Amino acid sequence: MFSGATNMHSGTNPATASAMRDAIEALAGPAIVIGRSRIAGMVRAFYQDADRGAAETARVVSRSPALASRLIAVANTIQHGAGIPATSVEAATVRIGEDRVKSLAIAHEAGLALASVLSESVDFASFWHQCVARGCIARAMAMNADPRIAGRAFLVGVLQDAGIPLLRRAEPADYDEILRRSEGSPLRLALLEWQSFNLNHIHVGLKLLNGWGLPDDIVEPVGRHHTNPPAAATGDRAIRLWQIGYIAGALPIGAEPSADAANLTLQRLIGTAMNLAGDAVDRLLRQAAAEYQDVAELFRAFAPPVRSVAELLAPAAAALDAAYDGAAAELSMAAPEQIRTERAALNADAAQPVYVTTLL
């Protein structure tokens, strides 16, 4: 049931823990059922039968008309558009990027499944866009370290906190107190959840991800995202995803900076494993902001954006002592020519190649 995450000491009343588990089962069960058919099918097509080309990816995406129409809309925004409309899912897939479309499609279906079981008492839209912003940071790190894992890194970032709204929905008063006591620290939040309920958002998230059929190379770094990874640079993709998930999970997104962002493991990972220091950190955040602007509209049907990307990423920038000023975060308000100029400048400045949206 709730397995796979590192256990922490708990002083929970057994009756309280049992009631919480029952409440989580009542919420997670329907979310798994709703998401399983679409997500598991996508996972098989995208990752078990990989490299079948944009046409096959588009065919799988087209099974969800709502998702397909949103992807076409995203492909025709000024971030991607080149004056030639994308009128098919295949054209949108080519324009956005096949690996990117795969990860966005799975994230969309996961978010839709969660939104379907949560009431308005949980501010799901705000929560979900914090997750998306976290995924964009994870993807930006992967694009600089190993672009082959960028799609998986995005999903590790987006889905690592999937259990939080279910815990909050199950015990809203108790969970709000836990949030207050966590003081913006993701690690402290996980510890307080465990002490209160004998499970935490990692356990709940793993239940969801396993139920949806996500592959092990995504599930495992989600389960470890609050466990210290090796700090050295590595070519091992599993360790890379673990490192990226840990960094993304320790950064405050849309909340006050916490002590987590100053811990030695995080700083060592950023500097040594990710080779990021000084201006490179600012470039990373600008890259993540541009990524968020590209994809935020995909989720509007069930989670309309409620905050600017500058607001979402400013706490992470403050925690990392970055010079990020949010200027690149408002690219969606610029003309297409300005977007191309801004992104070309980001790419030219980068010590390592930075992802730039392909314009067809």
Structure tokens that stand for 161 in this block:
């906190």
**106-141 pLDDT, tens per residue?**
999 999 999 999 866 568 999 999 999 999 999 999
CB atoms within 10 A of CB 122: 20
Q: In this structure, what are the phi and psi dihedrals at residue 130, rounded to the nearest 5 degrees?
A: -65, -40
Q: Shortest CA distance to 158 belongs to which of 98, 237, 94, 105?
A: 105
22-to-12, 84, 253 alpha-carbon distances in Å: 15, 52, 30
Tell me the three state secondary structure of residue 65. Answer: helix
Class of domain 14-349: mainly alpha
Burial 44-55 (b: 16+ CB within 10 A, else e): ebbbeeeeeebe
Residue 84: exposure state from Cβ atoms within 10 A (0-12, 13-18, ≥19): exposed
Indicate the angle between helix axes 98-117 and 150-159, nearest 10 degrees. 10
Q: What is the pLDDT along the chain (360 residues), one digit of tens a residue?
A: 444 454 444 455 555 678 888 999 999 999 999 999 889 999 999 988 767 799 999 999 999 999 999 999 999 886 666 678 899 999 999 999 999 999 999 999 999 999 999 866 568 999 999 999 999 999 999 999 999 999 999 999 999 999 999 999 988 888 999 988 988 788 889 999 999 999 999 999 999 999 999 999 999 999 999 999 998 889 999 999 999 999 999 998 987 656 565 566 788 889 888 988 888 999 999 999 999 999 999 999 999 999 999 999 998 888 888 877 665 455 443 444 444 444 444 344 333 333 323 222
Which residues make Cβ contacts (< 8 Å) with residue 264, sequence separation at least 6? none
Domain boundaries, the chain: 14-349
